[in-house]
A and B are shown apart, each in its own frame.
Chain A
Amino acid sequence: MEIAAPQAAVPVIELVGVSKSFGAIQALKEVDLSLYAGEVHALVGENGAGKSTLVKILAGVHRPDRGLLKINGEAVELRSPAQAQAAGIAVIHQEPTLFPDLDVAENVFMGHQPRDRLGRIDWRRMYREVDQLLQSLGVELNVYLPVRGLSVADRQLVEIARALSQDARVLIMDEPTASLSPREVDDLFGIVEQLRARQVAILFVSHRLEEVFRLASRVTVLRDGQRVITAPAQVLTPEETIRHMVGRELAALFPKEEAAIGDVVLEVRHLTRAGVFRDVSFQLRRGEILGLAGLVGAGRTEVARVLFGIDQAESGEILIDGRVVAIRSPRDAMRYGIAYVPEDRHQQGLILDFSIAKNITLSILQRIARFSLVRSRQELKIAADYAERLRVRGGRLTQPVRALSGGNQQKVVLGKWLATEPRILILDEPTRGIDIGAKAEVHRIISELAARGLAILLISSELPEILAMSDRVLVMHEGRVSGLFSRAEADQEKVMLAATGQNSRESR
């Protein structure tokens, strides 16, 4: 059954029986993986399945405790990332790490700049070669531009060009599409196809299955540090793959329950913040989930930040229960019953060194205090209540949230905001980076909250999530509202057209 890897009998790179532990935690258990020249091999698994550890072993960051790493059939030991690079292995990161103040060409050739006879950097040759390299990929990118200010997609291209300039034969792409827009994803896939044609071996790490099946010739599923299966992509279905990933059957998505939709709680009129978004208007009702769709950078998060008092709008009005209000700080917003679960869990949502309990009660300190002194028993009681309701697992309440999985961390953030007993809940990418099992649970929670009468604004870049959860879908494109659809009207195509600005504005 080696049909999917026809060219070479010997894999370019191969892991045989690789195990790796960190302290008491076994991250990888006797994992085998082979990569052949000219194949795209997808590596999938839930968060915590061991994908990152495997990538880091291939990249020379970690060394396996047991097992072998073979390159072209020969066992080798990669002691450092530099050695892995020298062996022709390159990693494209989700958020590329480049030198922001250097230009594109300098980044591509950093560390191996072409030299002239005197040993000086041959600048002309460098810019010419980078230009040629990018052109050969069909990419139009000014090689003189500093990397600061480039989009994530362009920075990934720089990393790819960098890998090619070093004659990489193995390219590991670690969740490369996580922060790309659909168009950028298409462009990236075009380039991956070209690399495949150039006989580069590609390991594509992702948990977006539709991308995996678009691109990969073989799929390897990891679960709990072990390889569950490796199979050609054409014999697997997404449903099967998910089953292998979670080890159980799973409802695909959790649709919203019917909930009585009540009065308008929040209304936004002609809200404008210069250079960020313009003339945004919408209404949000009790028990309603309003999906806010759009591409990355369309201004959705920016609207949420203004509603929560982090930033200020320049013009327009925000009405709560029909009355115009001024929201100048998160504290103001909280007083009006607004809660905001932010996009960046680690930077904005949580204090990673604080315990679960301390995180949950951070927004309601007054309520757990008497004479401004924290009452520990009261604190633990409230925290336990929310942790139980949201089914936070994986640690005692006094453990730092740092040790929790992404899904459980997100539940702690939700708990923190539900503790404020909000009436309006803004969720910004609530399921980003959490595994499928936890995702369904978060969807269940959101749905229950709406059923209990919360008004919910759901920002998400995942269309299936928006379509399954929302009563109405508001779409933004480049800072403006470009569409508003009822649950019945909304489908993938209409929303996508509005998000890319290709519909006329008649749908308002």
Chain B
Amino acid sequence: MSDSSEVKPPALDLEASATAASPSAPAVELRRTRVTASERALAHLPGWLRSWEALLLVLLLLSLVLGSTLSPYFLSASNFSLLISDMMEKALMALTMTLIVIAGEIDLSVASVLGLASVVLGYTWSHGLALGLAIALVLLLGAFCGLVNGLAVTRLSLPSLVVTLGTLALFRGLAYVVMGDQAVSNFPPAFTNFGFGTVPGTLIPWPFVLFIVLALLFSLLLHRSTLGRQIYAIGSNKEAARFAGIRVDNIKLLLFVLSGLMAALAGVVFTARFSNARADNALGFELDVVTIVLLGGVNIFGGSGSLPGVVLSLLIIGVLRNALSLADISGDIQNIAVGALLILSVLGPNVVRRLQEAASRRHAAEAGPGRLARSARSVPAEVGASARERETSH
């Protein structure tokens, strides 16, 4: 091991790696600075344990422990059924959000699209439209909302952060225009059964089945399909992607439309689960959705991240919120924890990277004791003299 790493990789560009390495990177034990004891301890872990997903697993275990200490009901099957059920809208929206963030954009309007979809569903149903048609209409509306976002981002070259912050207010406002502070709640049992009900003989909520199917589909799309590959390319380097013939704008537009569609679908699920269509449904959900995606290891600047990570982080947020609710902590206070996690999730990958660098430095330092001994003689005056000789030897 130590032998092989002393062999210099032949065609590696030294200058490139020199700039990539941290300026403080010490290669020799003598000058080890800035690597703290805890970093060193962690750097001894095997590779897979230092990955972001491993950290998420630890976090998930911690929140499970927290949950079970906070309430005796936490570890019951029915509570888990409830916990999962409660996360479904956010889970659905996190799927498309993952794609959008990997492509280097963001969609903050999802919760507002959800709210708008919910009230339009309630309004059209209560005005006599068949439920199936109303759902189709609402999905179409969601896709249209996404189209508006996407066109503003791609055709007008506006930053998605600003565009979707605007439509966050706009779509929510439209929801109030449609229904004011009224609510529709007399949905047919067939519809609400989908929301409340579970797969017969189990405690698995129906919306969870929908999520699993979509999650598998999206995993395939992101990690195996050509579209997924192009999404990563766009997020890593938009210009190089364009130069490779990738239709950057079309793909981004598609992603925003998908995001709107998914938010509307989440709106249908939400309405069914609560048998309730109100303009303030899912207010503020975008915080959780963005947190889930970033905590899941998706780079806020695009180009990297994975759906398995996002699913893990989904469970963490779900468990955390559920545990805090069981302990009678209100949603607003829970937001403190979620907000902290959001910041941690952007900060965290940097820390992990530092650890990995520390580990590679450690390997480097261990690799070359021979080199160290050999060069210990260098420095003093006699070397300076011989240097001068060499310099003029030609």
Contacts and interface: CB of A to CB of B under 8 A. Distances in A.
Given A21-B28, A30-B378, A349-B243, A366 B226 contact: yes
B204 interface: no
B211 to A, nearest CB: 22
Contacts of B201: none
B47 interface: no
Nearest to B379: A17
B378 A2 contact: no
B350 interface: no
Given A34-B391, A61-B23, A24 B5 contact: yes
B225 A22 contact: no
A352 interface: yes
Interface residues of A, number: 74
Contacts of A17: 378-379, 383-384, 387
B62 interface: no
B245 A330 contact: yes
Interface string B22-56: 01011110010000000000000000000000000
B237 A374 contact: no
Contact of A16 (B17, B27, B368, B383): B383
A49 B14 contact: yes
A350 B237 CA distance: 8
A22 B21 contact: yes
B266 to A, nearest CB: 26
Contact of A225 (B5, B14, B368): B14
B356 to A, nearest CB: 11
Interface string A330-366: 1101100000101000011111111000100011011
Nearest to A305: B243
B230 A365 contact: yes
A250 interface: no
Contacts of A49: 14
B233 interface: yes
B13 interface: yes
A93 B14 CA distance: 19
A306 B19 CA distance: 34
Contacts of B363: 23-24
B244 A25 contact: no
Interface string B202-244: 0000000000000000001000111101101100110111111
Given A16-B383, A350-B240, A369 B364 contact: no
Contact of A354 (B8, B26, B236, B388): B236
A56 B232 CA distance: 34
Contact of A48 (B13, B388, B394): B13
A269 interface: no
B72 interface: no
B15 interface: yes
Contacts of A395: 9, 11-12
B367 A331 contact: no
B391 A53 contact: no
B16 A402 contact: yes
Nearest to A344: B239
B172 to A, nearest CB: 36
B303 interface: yes
Contacts of A2: 392
Contacts of A366: 226
Interface string B70-89: 00000000000000000000
B237 to A, nearest CB: 5
Interface in A296-354: 308, 310, 329-331, 333-334, 340, 342, 347-354
A133 interface: no
Contact of A330 (B242, B383, B387): B242
A121 interface: no
Interface stretch (A64-72, A108-116, A495-503): A64-72
Given A331-B245, A347-B237, A32 B225 contact: no
B157 interface: no
Contact of B11 (A52, A350, A405): A405
Given A17-B387, A24-B367, A365-B229, A53 B14 contact: yes
A372 B28 contact: no
Interface stretch (A229-237, A257-265, A481-489): A229-237
Contacts of B229: 358, 362, 365, 374
A67 B375 CA distance: 10
B128 interface: no
Interface string A9-30: 0000000110111111111001
Contacts of B230: 365
Given A230-B391, A331-B247, A406-B13, A23 B384 contact: no
B222 to A, nearest CB: 11
Given A65-B28, A404-B11, A351 B233 contact: yes
Contacts of A225: 14
B10 interface: yes
A24 B6 CA distance: 6
Contact of A19 (B243, B246, B378, B392): B378
A165 to B, nearest CB: 26
Contact of B379 (A23, A67, A235): A67
A52 B21 contact: no
Contacts of A51: 15
A403 to B, nearest CB: 6
A502 B388 CA distance: 49
A393 interface: yes
A369 B220 CA distance: 13
A38 interface: no
A85 interface: no
A53 B233 contact: no
B118 interface: no
Contact of B375 (A52, A66, A330, A365): A66
B273 interface: no
A348 B243 contact: yes
A25 B15 contact: no
Contacts of A402: 16, 20
B177 to A, nearest CB: 40
Contacts of A351: 233, 236-237, 240-241
Interface in B363-382: 363-364, 367-368, 371, 375, 378-379
20 contacts: A22-B21, A22-B27, A23-B27, A25-B18, A30-B375, A49-B14, A50-B14, A68-B379, A310-B243, A334-B245, A352-B237, A353-B236, A369-B225, A369-B226, A394-B12, A395-B11, A403-B13, A403-B16, A403-B17, A406-B13
Closest A-B pairs by Cβ, 7 of them? A394-B11, A21-B27, A32-B387, A405-B13, A231-B394, A1-B392, A22-B21
Given A17-B383, A66-B378, A362-B233, 12 more contacts: A16-B387, A19-B375, A24-B360, A61-B23, A67-B379, A230-B392, A333-B245, A342-B243, A372-B226, A373-B220, A405-B16, A408-B11
